[in-house]
Structure 1
């Protein structure tokens, strides 16, 4: 799996987790969903993604975007 696809999987997973936490624990977890969305938008424009850096260090192969 490339870093590009892993970032998409991780972002989708985090959105689903935050929605479950928002529903079951506290409505304030909706801010986690907003953070993930904003991070995806800024990485589209800047090419900087902290999750991609971590995944690269874990040994995932680079993709086209990261």
Structure 2
């Protein structure tokens, strides 16, 4: 059985995107439970939809924004290490 382990020695686009998605889901569920306001769960549903959208299409708007802010992707970091 293979185990996938992401590199954790640096932050790259894919790792930041996963962190933000998890943070947004956790924080919106927490706010929804604490405040009793059901509208926070709509944000959780939106994040889940965007994760499925990325899985189907390969397009992730948050990754595009993070990359435009100057954060390299894992592939770019790997290619720069090989030179």
TM-score band, normalised by shorter chain: 0.7 to 0.9
Runs of 4+ with deviation above 4 angstroms: none
Q: Greater helix share, 1 or 2?
A: 1
CA distance, structure 2, for counterparts of residue 13 and residue 21 of structure 1? 12
For residues 3-57 of structure 1, what are the alpha-carbon distances to aligned partners after superposition, in whole Å with 9 as ceiling and x for unaligned?
Answer: 1111100000000110111112312211111110110011011111111011001
Structure with more contact order per residue of length (Cα contacts < 8 Å, sep ≥ 6): 1
Q: 2:39 aligns with which of 25, 28, 35?
A: 28
Tell me the C-alpha RMSD between the 2 structures.
1.2
Structure 2 gaps of 5+ residues are: 1-10, 76-83
CA distance, structure 2, for counterparts of residue 21 and residue 10 of structure 1? 16
SS at match of 1:60: coil
